[in-house]
């Protein structure tokens, strides 16, 4: 039978209610009003195979700002210690440790880490978490974080989810059991007063492995203004096998990690990329940069108002309106066969009036492959200067190579026209080695040497068809 929890000022009631639900059928219903999290460093809530469901007896908190009184999960005032503010979560969920039966039935595999340490491991996936119809109040304006160093509390996520590594007693080679969730699903959630840390964070909590969650589903979520722009509303530094986000209106969506998940212990013999399905998402900023070409994306109707950045990713983004960031954040590294279909690119203008454009770049002797079909490239500038597409020839990493195709695209008509109108502008600066392909009809009556200035290096190939 579900546990029903009334609101209170207690910092223990919510966590105790979750524990009581986990001991029963795994369902906790929060009544309208405030329910406070319990402060503490590296405090995790372990969820077993029967899973956990947290919902509400009250109305939906959406749309924001809420005009009703929903059930609210709130971080207490001054929950972050000034001396040790990091890893102080609101609620962070991990799976319970392995059972004796799971240990006995495990298929142990060898693993050697980057430091040369050997071990044996097995992976178990179980347990489902569902959270719905709640307002999540991060309350970061009342933590004193603005007077702390910039990154002091960046791991103190409000809601966190991740697999966990457990040591298994063994007389020989060290053994570890990696336990992950079968699924995490959230819907009908509002996030308010975020900042300094992530509101919703998917991250491994005790040793990386792949996948540490089979399925993450986020549906019908929204966020209010954040008190600080550091970190994100929805954040992924750990990969699930499948990630689905639909109907979201949030301040920021971020997926970033600086090591390759291909190198982590994994459940399957062969690595399989994380599959992302993104539909109808509005955000101020979006960033996708999981190192190592480990993501495939099927996305449509994305809108990024201030900054969009993508690297190491394959798949399709269709029918979207994306604002490119300034400077280094406008570099799209190592695209993995990415197809942009029907995307409008809004290109920023630097303080000196220069349009940097999108920089398509390679790294680490690897490839950058992308196709742009029916895209529009339009900077908001009165006197254009610069380029819509940019690149730099790789001299030190000779294995770097692009394969880029632009077809049925619309380019700002004032770029690449030449003297006397715009003597120093271009549609694309074709500098990086590899093959660049354009439709002649898209270039119009521009002179090719003006519109598509090309490097003299023999391994830079320009095809205008």
**Strands 175-192, 164-168: pairing kind:** antiparallel
Looking at residue 101, the DSSP 8-state letter turns out to be H
Residues 194-212 pLDDT 10s? 999 999 999 988 889 999 9
Long-range contacts of 109-114, Cβ-Cβ distance < 8 Å, separation of 24 or more: 109/265, 110/173, 111/265, 114/263
Task: Identify the segments of the chain with pLDDT beneath 70.
Answer: 383, 418-423
Going along 224-350, which residue ranges are E strands?
234-236, 242-257, 274-290, 295-310, 313-324, 331-333, 336-346
In angstroms, rounded to a whole number, what is the distance separating the alpha carbons of residues 232 and 360?
A: 25
Residues 137-149 pLDDT 10s? 999 999 999 899 8
Q: Other C-beta atoms within 10 Å of 143: how many?
A: 27
In angstroms, rounded to a whole number, what is the distance separating the alpha carbons of residues 236 and 242?
A: 12
pTM for the whole structure: 0.95
In angstroms, rounded to a whole number, what is the distance separating the alpha carbons of residues 431 and 57?
A: 60
Contact (CB, 8 A) for 454 and 424? no
- Write down the pLDDT at residue 150: 85
């Amino acid at each position: 039978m579900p546990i029903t929890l009334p609101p209170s000022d207690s910092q223990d009631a919510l966590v105790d209610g979750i524990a009581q639900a986990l001991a029963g059928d795994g369902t906790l219903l929060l009544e309208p009003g405030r329910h406070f999290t319990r402060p503490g460093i590296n405090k995790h809530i372990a969820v077993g195979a029967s899973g956990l469901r947290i919902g509400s007896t009250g109305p939906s908190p959406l749309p924001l700002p809420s005009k009703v009184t929903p059930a609210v999960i709130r971080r207490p005032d001054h929950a972050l210690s000034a001396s040790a503010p990091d890893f102080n979560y609101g609620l962070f969920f991990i799976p319970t440790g392995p059972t004796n039966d799971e240990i006995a039935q495990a298929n142990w595999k060898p693993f050697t880490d980057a430091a040369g340490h050997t071990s044996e491991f097995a992976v178990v996936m179980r347990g489902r978490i569902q959270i719905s119809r709640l307002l999540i109040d991060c309350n970061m304006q009342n933590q004193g974080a603005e007077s702390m160093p910039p990154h002091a509390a960046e791991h103190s996520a409000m809601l966190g989810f991740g697999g966990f590594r457990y040591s298994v007693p063994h007389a020989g080679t060290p053994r570890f059991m990696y336990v992950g969730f079968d699924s995490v699903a959230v819907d009908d959630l509002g996030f308010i007063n975020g900042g300094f840390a992530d509101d919703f964070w998917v991250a491994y909590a005790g040793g990386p492995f792949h996948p540490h969650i089979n399925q993450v589903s986020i549906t019908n979520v929204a966020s209010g203004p954040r008190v600080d722009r550091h970190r994100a509303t929805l954040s992924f530094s750990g990969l699930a096998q499948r990630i689905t986000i639909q109907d979201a209106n949030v301040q920021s969506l971020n997926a970033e990690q600086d090591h390759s998940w291909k190198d982590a212990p994994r459940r399957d013999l062969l690595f399989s990329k994380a599959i992302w399905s993104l539909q109808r998402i509005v955000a101020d900023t979006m960033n996708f940069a999981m190192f190592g070409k480990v993501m495939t994306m099927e996305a449509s109707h994305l809108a990024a108002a201030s900054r969009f950045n993508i690297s190491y990713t394959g798949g399709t983004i269709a029918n979207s309106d994306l604002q490119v960031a300034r400077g280094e954040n406008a570099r799209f590294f190592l695209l993995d066969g990415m197809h942009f279909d029907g995307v409008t690119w809004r290109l920023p203008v630097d303080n000196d009036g220069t349009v940097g454009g999108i920089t398509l770049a390679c790294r680490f002797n690897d490839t950058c492959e992308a196709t742009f079909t029916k895209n529009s490239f339009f900077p908001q500038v009165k006197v254009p200067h610069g380029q819509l597409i940019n690149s730099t020839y790789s001299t030190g990493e000779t294995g770097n190579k692009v394969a880029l195709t632009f077809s049925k695209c619309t380019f700002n008509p004032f770029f690449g026209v030449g003297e006397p109108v715009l003597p120093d502008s271009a549609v694309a600066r074709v500098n990086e080695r590899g093959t660049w392909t354009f439709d002649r009809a898209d270039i119009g009556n521009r002179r090719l040497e003006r519109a598509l200035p090309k490097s003299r290096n023999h391994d830079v190939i320009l095809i205008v068809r």
